[in-house]
């Protein structure tokens, strides 16, 4: 049995790291890519972000993920994919994770195969290779992802701990009009860290989690700009981080700023009542960038209709 066509799936943007939570913390954001699966001949129609640059054949990431889940190509299945993207590619907003999630969910739905968030996360983490983004994209909200090594009789496992959606936070995205590859951004990171840096990183990540779970803005503010693992090393690649940080401190009551994933997008964290002020300040500071007030999306990838 295969599903009745057409049907539509969607998946959210995601921001990895959240400052001090390198490769561990992530959150889903209120930008979504949608994919309509309809009868066709194996074509991929890309609209919105990435139109004109993303592949429109079987090499498209959505099509490849569909094949992984369904065990057949879109051409052999007799379908076309209409991809409507609101997540800009190569900006540190999890566009590839969202595309892969849409493809996997579309493949399972095409087969009328039941699936859940944990199954999507497991498949997505392997297919996409970014477990933190995969966890946020599959589960929605803010998540903690732990790649647990084997201990005694317990095998290695990827654990996901949902931390809620923290609806009192407004992440204001400053999205530069340029791309930055994850490979380039990871290439500037050191191969090792001192004990002091490791201890500081653990403490800051714990402080951030405590603030998010407890609804304590003062703890979130204390944690956000204390990263020692990746942001200091990526600063030269993303000068917007320091510029946004200075502008936020000078003219707003923002909680802090973080690099979104590998960049170049910067998130300025605000409480709801200060979000308009932050948006205005960032629009003045970055006239060539896209400035978007977002919310933390409590929902992961899903069947829309």
Question: Rounded CA gap, 203 and 270, in Å?
Answer: 22
pLDDT(138) > 70: yes
Strands 44-48 and 79-85: parallel
pLDDT at position 223 over 80: yes
Cα separation of 142 and 2, whole Å? 34
The rounded distance, in Å, linking the Cα atoms of 261 and 26 is: 9
Are the C-beta atoms of residues 211 and 164 closer than 8 Å to each other?
no
Percentage of the residues of the chain whose pLDDT score is greater than 90:
92
- Whether the CA torsion 214, 216, 219, 223 is positive or negative: it is positive
Mean pLDDT check: name the lowest of 154-163, 206-215, 289-298.
Answer: 154-163
Compute the average pLDDT of residues 71-75.
97
Short-list 15, 10, 302, CA closest to 166: 15
* pLDDT bracket for residue 3 (50, 70, 90): confident
**DSSP H stretches of helix in the chain:** 61-70, 74-77, 95-110, 117-128, 131-139, 182-186, 195-214, 217-224, 231-234, 240-251, 275-285
CA distances to 72, 106, 107, 217 from 112, rounded to whole Å, are 14, 10, 9, 43
User: Can you give the pLDDT at residue 147?
Assistant: 81
Mean pLDDT of 242-265: 97
CA atoms within 13 A on the CB side of 66: 33
Give the DSSP letter of residue 193: -
* 89-115 pLDDT tens trace: 999 999 999 999 999 999 999 999 999
Can you give the pLDDT at residue 103? 99
The CA distance from 167 to 219, in Å, is 16
- Cβ neighbours of residue 173 closer than 8 Å, sequence gap 6 or more: 29, 93, 260, 265, 266, 267, 290, 291, 292, 293, 294
**Nearest 5°: phi and psi at 246?**
-65, -45
**What is the per-residue pLDDT for 148?**
75
Whether 1 has a pLDDT exceeding 60, the answer reads: no
* 188 pLDDT above the threshold of 70: yes
DSSP single-letter state for residue 128: H
Reported as a pLDDT band with limits 50, 70 and 90, residue 2 is confident
As a whole number, mean pLDDT of residues 206-224 equals 97
For residues 236 and 244, give the distance between their C-alpha atoms in angstroms, rounded to a whole number: 14
Give residue 154's pLDDT: 67
Domains of the chain (ranges; CATH) run: 7-149 (3.30.230.10), 169-293 (3.30.70.890)
* pLDDT at residue number 302: 98
CA-wise closest residue to 108 among 50, 66, 58: 66
Per-residue pLDDT at 189 = 95
Beta-bridge partners for 154: 151
Backbone phi, psi, residue 159, to 5°: -100, 140
What whole-number distance in Å separates Cα of residue 260 and Cα of residue 238? 11
């Amino acid at each position: 049995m295969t599903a009745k066509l057409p049907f539509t799936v969607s998946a959210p943007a995601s921001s990895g790291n959240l400052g001090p939570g390198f490769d561990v913390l992530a959150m889903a954001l209120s930008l979504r890519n949608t994919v309509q699966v309809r009868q066709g001949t194996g074509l991929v129609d890309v609209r919105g972000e990435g139109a004109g640059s993303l592949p429109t054949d079987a090499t498209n990431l959505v099509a490849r993920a569909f094949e992984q889940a369904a065990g057949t190509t879109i051409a052999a299945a007799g379908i076309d994919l209409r991809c409507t993207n609101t997540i800009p590619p190569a900006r540190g907003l999890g566009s590839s994770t969202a595309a892969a999630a849409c493809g996997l969910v579309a493949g399972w739905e095409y087969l009328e195969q039941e699936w859940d968030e944990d199954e999507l996360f497991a498949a997505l983490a392997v297919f996409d290779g970014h477990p933190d983004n995969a966890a946020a994209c599959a589960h929605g909200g803010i998540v903690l992802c732990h790649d647990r090594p084997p201990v005694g009789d317990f095998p290695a496992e990827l654990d996901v701990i949902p931390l809620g959606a923290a609806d009192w936070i407004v992440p204001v995205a400053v999205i530069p009009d340029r791309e930055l590859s994850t490979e380039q951004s990871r290439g500037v990171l050191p191969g090792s860290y001192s004990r002091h840096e490791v201890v500081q990183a653990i403490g800051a990540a714990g402080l951030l989690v405590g603030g998010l779970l407890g609804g304590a803005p003062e703890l979130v503010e204390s944690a956000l700009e204390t990263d020692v693992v990746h942001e200091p090393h990526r600063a030269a690649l993303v000068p917007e981080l320091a510029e946004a940080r200075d502008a936020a401190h000078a003219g707003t009551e923002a909680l802090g700023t973080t690099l979104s994933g590998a960049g170049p997008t910067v998130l300025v964290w605000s409480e709801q009542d200060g979000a308009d002020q932050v948006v205005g300040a960032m629009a003045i500071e970055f006239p060539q960038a896209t400035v978007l007030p977002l919310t933390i999306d409590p929902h992961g990838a899903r069947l829309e209709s």
